[in-house]
Amino acid sequence: MAAQTAETRGFETEAKQLLHLMIHSLYSNKEIFLRELISNASDAADKLRFASLSQPELLETGGEPKVQIDFDTEKNILMISDNGIGMTRDEVITNLGTIAKSGTAQFLENLTGDEKKDSQLIGQFGVGFYSAFIVADKVEVRTRRAGTAEDEATLWISEGEADYSLEAVSKATAGTEITLHLKADEKEYAESYRLRSIVKKYADHISIPVFMQKEDLPVTDEADEDGSKKDEESVVEYEAVNEAKALWTRSRKDVKADEYKEFYKSVSHDFEDPLEWSHNKVEGKLEYTSLLYVPARAPYDLWNRDSARGLKLYVQRVFIMDDAEQFLPLYLRFMKGIVDSNDISLNVSREILQEDPVVDSMRSALTKRALDMLEKMRKKDKDKYNSFWNEFGQALKEGPAEDFTNKEKVAKLLQFTTTHSESDAQDQCLDDYISRMKEDQEKIYYLVADSAKAGRNSPHLEIFRKKGIEVILMHDRIDEWLMSHLQEFDGRQFQDISRGELDLGKLEDEEDKEVQEKTEKEFVKLVERIKENLGDKVKEVRVTHRLTGSPACLAVDDHDMGMQMRKIMEASGQAVPETKPIFEINPTHPLLVKLDKEADEDRFGDIVSILFGQAGLADGVQLEDPADFSARLNKLLLELVN
């Protein structure tokens, strides 16, 4: 290869921002840099092992995969090296000079400047290679892609500021060496005891050995095949300091909680403990092991449905791919973990996974296991489940539409605010609601609103308050769409109390029905007069029985699109079918009593328009003509003042 001088390149703006934040926000948990670098080295070894299945020539020396840690206490240097897949020059630029993640700009916009809060946000984004700059003021990466010549290696050097340099160099073996020139006050990370304790803490679960020199001897550049290094004065001996057995292959009773937590952090690059996990081995018709985790916080890109998601896939302990999305449905995209199968081909691809009946069977079983884990958490620790719900509840609400088979299981996990809730928190499940239903209540009543406060103040609730009937208040943007796919639960139908004619079934006695019929007949002419005045603004005008204190309200026809769904579609630029509301009046209200006696048609029209506008405002509907509404209202106010 032709000689090439060092080239200086600038970091992308986003990379510079993240580097600065990483250095200044994670000072309280510095040691995670070693976990991240060892995890990356382990991934590189996994990728080489998979690639060598079809290209055995990539295994140059035939040596077993390993990670090696060297340190020089006097020079304050730490080196982490591996014999994994390595990188080409272009891959170095892509992986170390940019942040190749969708939504990075949005992530950075969410940063507050508060170091504590921002450090938590970084955990949702992922830490990775850049964590090296937490403890080092200069980092060198020497790497060669497996299958390339010795003189096709690349040297990357940066001090974590605005730029980095690239230089073509030689490297005897494939893989990557990362040299950290530690900061003056970070000498502890070049000391044997400290390094060993960190490796034991963070790397016991990985499936390849991590070797460390036995004594505090200087770092050298040459290594024997067995891992020993030589210089003129001494021979450096190495020993494995981790268990080097994949955690998921061990028996559950032999794995401690702290080990499960550290494995999660390695898999997810999160530095918060997971909320829950489930480790399971299946034997029989199918043979596979799964380890599923529920994170404590939603990732920054949870709502980007195209972002990377899924489980790490292993076949017979051989790493196959990250983010295998075929094993869990999209609404469970927040789940992290691994699946290791004995029944899938080692040469599998993403396309083959989509058509493999074995994968379909595993997906079905893993989905049920994930839902059972959540249900167990809900029953065992309500506070923990509420924490989960606040982070991932809206994603779970996508379930009934996407997963017909598990619709009932998902529905049991849903939580809402109700009129019996002490706060606006979504902390009531459907089982809770059913347990409080009145003796003759046949339906589950709910109301969709823009917020919990708007729901609580809705006139549609008046008759339910009077009769002491609990109503679910749905105020997430996704709720109306959810309910279009969830018609019943536990044999009971859902009823939107703002839709269609109100029917309380057995909760209404004969006396109530007689009063309603009499009222409807008595005010037929008033209804016709209002309908004539409003014209094509409404589909229908009718006497309501759902109001006890308000003069009027708007209802939606049984088959029309609700207000919330209309807003979502309009905001996304989609065509919305034209619908008209049903205007319901409470003729016993003093305003309607006076309106019925109003002889001045202009004044009658003003009052009707104001009542219609107010009913819309109560439902969160934007006024079609605010100026006209204000003019009519001011006109009536002036009459009152005069």
The CATH number of the domain covering residues in 510-556+569-641: 1.20.120.790
Q: Which of 5-9, 589-593, 626-630 has the lowest mean pLDDT?
A: 5-9
Q: For residue 369, what is the enclosing H or E element?
A: helix 357-380
pLDDT tens-digit series, residues 517-542: 888 888 899 999 999 999 999 999 99
Distance CA(395)–CA(298), nearest Å, equals: 10
Query: What's the whole-number mean pLDDT along residues 285-293?
Result: 93
The third-level CATH classification (topology) of the domain covering 7-232 is Heat Shock Protein 90 (3.30.565)
pLDDT tens-digit series, residues 463-502: 999 999 999 999 998 999 999 999 999 999 999 999 888 8
DSSP β-ladder status, 582-585 and 77-82: unpaired
Band (pLDDT 50/70/90 cuts) for residue 434 is very high
- Please give the C-alpha separations between residue 239 and each of 175, 212, 280, in angstroms, as whole numbers: 20, 6, 32
Q: Name residues whose C-beta falls within 8 Å of residue 328's C-beta, 6 or more positions apart in sequence.
A: 310, 311, 335, 363, 366, 367, 370
Specify the higher pLDDT residue, 263 or 316.
Answer: 263
- Residue ranges of domains in the chain: 7-232, 248-386, 414-507, 510-556+569-641
Tell me if 7-232 shares its fold with 510-556+569-641: no
Q: What is the pLDDT of residue 26?
A: 56
The closest of 281, 73, 97 to 186, measured between CA atoms, is 73
pLDDT at residue 232 above 50? no
Q: pTM to 2 decimals?
A: 0.73
Q: What are 164's strand-pairing partners?
A: 9, 158
> Is residue 412 within 8 Å of 431, Cβ to Cβ?
yes
Band (pLDDT 50/70/90 cuts) for residue 102 is very low
Q: What does DSSP assign to residue 537?
A: G
Can you say whether residue 535 is alpha, beta or left, with left for phi > 0 and alpha for psi between -120 and 50 degrees? left
pLDDT at residue 101 above 60? no
Q: Which of 148-162, 247-261, 320-334, 562-576 has the lowest mean pLDDT?
A: 562-576
Distance CA(258)–CA(131), nearest Å, equals: 22
Distance CA(221)–CA(88), nearest Å, equals: 21
In 3-state terms, what secondary structure has residue 401? helix
> Is residue 291 within 8 Å of 263, Cβ to Cβ?
yes
How remote is the C-alpha of 344 from its chain's centroid? Answer: 28
pLDDT at residue 1 above 50? no
248-386: CATH, from 3.40.50.2000, 3.30.230.80, 3.30.365.10, 2.40.50.140: 3.30.230.80
Q: What does DSSP assign to residue 515?
A: H
- Identify the burial level of 587 via C-beta atoms within 10 angstroms of its C-beta, where 0-12 means exposed, 13-18 middle and 19 or more buried: buried
The third-level CATH classification (topology) of the domain covering 414-507 is Rossmann fold (3.40.50)
Q: What does DSSP assign to residue 622?
A: P
Specify the higher pLDDT residue, 239 or 108.
Answer: 239
Band (pLDDT 50/70/90 cuts) for residue 353 is confident
- Please give the C-alpha separations between residue 279 and each of 247, 272, 335, 366, 640, in angstroms, as whole numbers: 10, 19, 13, 11, 72
Q: Which of 164-168, 493-497, 569-573, 590-594 has the lowest mean pLDDT?
A: 569-573
Specify the higher pLDDT residue, 566 or 56.
Answer: 56
Q: Which of 18-22, 420-424, 425-429 has the lowest mean pLDDT?
A: 18-22
Q: What are 107's strand-pairing partners?
A: none
Residue 104, both tokens: 């990075």
Query: What's the whole-number mean pLDDT along residues 155-183?
Result: 92
